[in-house]
Amino acid sequence: MILTQRPLERVLFRTPAHPSPILEATQERYLLEHLFTRGFDVDHGTVRSDADPAPRALGIFWSVIAQECPMVNESIEPARWGEPVSDRAIATTEGHLHAQLPPAWRAYLQSQRWLRRGWLESGDYIHLYDPEESLEIMDAWGDSTALHPGIYFLGGDGSRSIYCVDLRDAEPAVQLTDIVGGGWMDAEPLLDSVEQFVAAISDGTFRAFQEG
């Protein structure tokens, strides 16, 4: 079996969830890996298998795979997916912080496919940061960072809210602070653990503000 990964700009199709005719690199890679592990040949923008020799458009299969990922709602805009973060990148960040990232967060960022940003099925928009991006935003936060000793940014809502942890705690809770937060006393608890945060993101149920 031969799997041919064609140049990104030549893999063209449209689906209702993906109105853009060009796949992102991470989406293309995920799609090809998904098909390859299921016994399909992929070549020249079409897909075929021994059981179904008729060629099918690549976009049809991406549409099916998107339906298998109910965590995100792509009717507004396509989700953006992150690639596995290297051990070196995490070690560099931990050296800068003089603290270790929560194991559950490290495992999530090093998974084959993690949500970088998009609309969850819960209705919340979320933007998650890789370690480099987190440090850049924390540096830009200036004096507010010093008012939150031990802080580390996991992500935000694309607006004012920041989802963060206090790395001084061995098992930190996930908290919400504002971009002009005055310190930990202004932060609001969201979830008891990073494990719960990752699980809520992964199944699309995360909500920063609960109704009622």
Q: Model confidence over 53-109: pLDDT tens digits?
A: 555 555 544 444 444 455 777 777 888 999 999 999 999 999 999 999 999 999 999
Whether residue 136 is found in the same domain as residue 183: yes
Whether residue 45 is found in the same domain as residue 114: no
Whether residue 176 is found in the same domain as residue 119: yes
Q: What local confidence, expressed as pLDDT, does residue 72 receive?
A: 78
Q: Is residue 23 part of a domain?
A: yes
- Using alpha carbons, select from 163, 182, 178, 90 the residue that is nearest to residue 125: 163
Q: Is residue 176 part of a domain?
A: yes
Q: Is residue 76 part of a domain?
A: no
Whole-prediction pTM: 0.69
Fill in the DSSP letter of residue 70: T
Q: Is residue 211 part of a domain?
A: no
Whether residue 193 is found in the same domain as residue 89: yes
What does the angle CA 104 – CA 107 – CA 112 come to, to the nearest 5 degrees? 145
Query: Where in the sequence is the domain holding 33, given as residue range(s)?
Result: 8-68
Q: Is residue 208 part of a domain?
A: no
Give 203's pLDDT tier (boundaries 50, 70, 90): confident
Q: Is residue 73 part of a domain?
A: no
Looking up residue 120, the CATH number of its domain turns out to be 3.40.1580.10
CB neighbour class for 15 (10 Å; exposed up to 12, middle 13-18, buried from 19): middle
